[in-house]
Amino acid sequence: MKLIGSYTSPYVRKISVMLIEKGISFEFVNDPPTSAGSKVTNFNPLGKVPALVTEEGEVFYDSPIIVQYIELLGASPTLLPPEPLEALRVKQIEALADGVTDAAVALVLENRREAAQRSEEWIIRQRGKILRGLDQLEKYASQRHLLNGESLNVADISVACMLGYLNFRRIAPGWCVERPTLIKLVERLFQRESFARTTPP
């Protein structure tokens, strides 16, 4: 099994953490889509990572799809609840965390543009998405059910990878203000081997 991705991608990190937690062997192929000579489009026509190549040569792309595939392999521990509606609720938190990440990535790209070309309206919109998303995630984490519960799940992994990306790119540096439960969640998760091994360089 091969995981095509980038060391700095939070979406790729989510899949790497899952595979490590489940003890599934995989080969990591570092191929940032924006680098010259990238072959990512050979695996995903959209030119995005992660892409997972199975032992049979089938390719899955987009991290939520890869999450579903990995769970179908049946390796322990299970990272989605067995009950379909409860699993859907966990997947919704994953989608929220990914949406915050999308907004953070958009800010990173916008900040790389010349100052005169940047859209303040666009920046404000993305910051709003991040802050509203973090507020909702703090509520979920405080409930200690779908997120921040006794057992690690996909929501926990997605949120931790997203917060790690915010720290790595220094986006929304004050995100931890008035979000104590999220702080405790990532402090606990970042001590796990799966997260230590996937820390962006």
Per-residue model confidence as pLDDT tens digits over 79-130: 999 999 999 999 999 999 999 999 999 999 999 989 999 999 999 999 999 9
199 in a structural domain: no
Residue with tokens 């953490």: 17
Determine, yes or no, domain membership for 165. Answer: yes
Q: Rounded to two decimals, what is the model's pTM?
A: 0.96
Does some domain include residue 112? yes
Spatial CB neighbours of 6, under 8 Å, sequence gap ≥ 6: 12, 30, 31, 32, 33, 49
- State whether 185 and 103 are in the same domain: yes
Mean pLDDT, residues 160-171 taken together: 97
- pLDDT for the residue numbered 164: 97
Domain tally for the chain? 2
Question: Based on the domain organization, do 40 and 125 belong to the same domain?
Answer: no
Q: What is the DSSP string of 115-129?
A: GGG--HHHHHHHHHH
Residue given tokens 């995005």 in the structure block: 48
Length of the chain: 201
pLDDT tens-digit series, residues 42-85:
999 999 999 999 999 999 999 999 999 999 999 999 999 999 99
Structural domain contains residue 200: no
Q: Can you list the alpha helix ranges (DSSP code H) found in the chain? A: 10-22, 63-72, 84-111, 120-143, 154-169, 180-189, 193-196
Name residue 2's beta-bridge partners: 27, 53
Q: Are residues 12 and 95 in the same domain?
A: no
Q: What is the mean pLDDT of the chain?
A: 97
Residue 11, domain CATH? 3.40.30.10
Residues 101 and 36 in one domain: no
Whole-number Å distance between alpha carbons of 196 and 150? 20
Whether residues 155 and 100 fall in one domain: yes
Residues 68 and 164 in one domain: no
**Residue-range definition of the domain harbouring residue 96:** 84-193
What single string gives the DSSP state of each residue in 19-60? HHHHT---EEEE--TTSTT--GGGT-TT--S-EEE-TTS-EE
Cα–Cα dist 130/64, whole Å: 19
Helices 63-72 and 84-111 sit at what angle, rounded to 10 degrees?
150
Q: In the prediction, which pLDDT does 9 show?
A: 98
148, 149, 155, 158: CA torsion to nearest 10? 40
Residue 114 lies inside a defined structural domain of this protein: yes
Residue-wise pLDDT for 8-43, tens only, equals: 999 999 999 999 999 999 999 999 999 999 999 999
CATH of the domain at 181: 1.20.1050.10
Are 14 and 97 in a shared domain? no
Q: Residue 57: its pLDDT value, please?
A: 97
| Model pLDDT, residue 63 | 97
Asked if 151 and 94 sit in the same domain, the reply is yes
Of 15, 10, 29, the residue nearest 68 (C-alpha): 15
